[in-house]
Amino acid sequence: MYSNVRIVMMYTSHPGNIGAVARAMKNMGLGELCLVSPKSFPDIVAERRAAGAKDILADAKVVETFDEALEGCVAVVGASARGRKIPWPVMNPRDCAKKVREFALLPKTGSDQENQNKVAIVFGREDRGLTNDELQRCNYHVHIPTNPDYGSLNVAMALQVVAYELRMDYLLYSGLGDATQAAPTLSPENDGWDEALATSDEVEGLIGHLEAVMIKTEFFDPENPRQLIPRLRRLFQRSRMDKIEVNIMRGFLNTVLKAIKDKC
């Protein structure tokens, strides 16, 4: 995961939101949290909401001013609702993740490489977000595209979305083993299925078997075929069956034949 991200929460009123942010950060692989003058911290409510992410709270840095929170950062991204007086460079969360990555990939020099190319992503107060002064301290704004009729996103939810995009970008971009987590749809045609794909002739064998049993039970009349067999073929060939599925269906058809015969 990108290690050059510092999450900053400004003047947070409700400790539950700090806990929820810590949990969401750890879920998405982020670690560095900085709190600017939180109303109550540490707080048992925050710890309860953090669940298994109490380590993020324990490591969180508490400072008094915005300036202190931004110390050492090469870029500052402020979370913003729409409609500020002065237009500012604004990104959606996906582009924000790309921007963070660009900074993460910058070359590092000297001894303290861990803290280089650090980007602060800043979230404002629960009731009114960041002030205009604070937003103008930011290099970029990140805006989550909400419903225009109801755009008031909870601060932890906003962090969750931004952090999710950071993780998706990291997984998709890094192409590491980890990237399978953001992999495409799993189906028998992809790596990761538990059984081998049936071959086309194995599926055809099943369809022939099914046709024979359908004739035997008088469900299918070859004199009046209509589109029955093409429809079955379309269904089973489309499904990309695996070998065990073919075996199950054929085993079942054998017991049907046997049940009919035994009763004769």
Chain positions 138 to 167 lying near a second copy, rule: CB under 8 A, are: 140, 143-148, 150-154, 156-157, 160-161, 164, 167
Among residues 17 and 117, whose Cβ is nearest to a second copy? 17
In this structure, how many other beta carbons lie within 10 angstroms of the beta carbon of residue 111?
5
Write down the least CB distance from residue 46 to a second copy, Å: 14
Asked whether position 94 contacts a second copy by CB under 8 A, the answer is yes
Which residues, 6+ apart, have CB-to-CB distance to 41 below 8 Å? Answer: 12, 15, 18, 35, 60, 62
Exactly one of 9, 10, 24, 135 binds a second copy (CB under 8 A); that residue is 24
Among residues 224 and 264, whose Cβ is nearest to a second copy? 264
Question: What residues numbered 200-259 form the site for a second copy, per CB under 8 A?
Answer: 213-214, 216-220, 228, 231-232, 235, 238-239, 241, 244-245, 248, 251-252, 255-256, 258-259
Asked whether position 124 contacts a second copy by CB under 8 A, the answer is no
Write down the least CB distance from residue 34 to a second copy, Å: 20
Question: Reading across the β-sheet that carries 140-142, which strands appear in turn?
Answer: 61-63, 32-36, 5-10, 118-123, 73-79, 140-142, 90-91
Write down the least CB distance from residue 137 to a second copy, Å: 17
Write down the least CB distance from residue 5 to a second copy, Å: 13
Alpha-carbon distance values, 33 to 44, 53, 60, 70, 145 (Å) = 17, 12, 5, 12, 24
| Spatial CA neighbour of 100 closest among 242, 2, 207 | 2
Among residues 111 and 185, whose Cβ is nearest to a second copy? 185
Question: What residues numbered 43-72 form the site for a second copy, per CB under 8 A?
Answer: 51-53
Exactly one of 65, 132, 187, 199 binds a second copy (CB under 8 A); that residue is 187
- What separation, in Å, do the N-terminal and C-terminal C-alpha atoms of the chain show? 68
β-strand partners of 91 = 142
Task: Give the pair of three-digit tokens for residue 183.
Answer: 């992999």
Asked whether position 1 contacts a second copy by CB under 8 A, the answer is yes
Q: Do the bridges between strand 32-36 and strand 5-10 make them parallel or antiparallel, or are there none, so unpaired?
A: parallel
Write down the least CB distance from residue 142 to a second copy, Å: 10
The alpha carbon of residue 243 and the mean position of all alpha carbons in its chain are separated, in whole angstroms, by 32
Among residues 41 and 164, whose Cβ is nearest to a second copy? 164
For residue 189, report the phi and psi dihedrals to the nearest 5 degrees. -80, -15
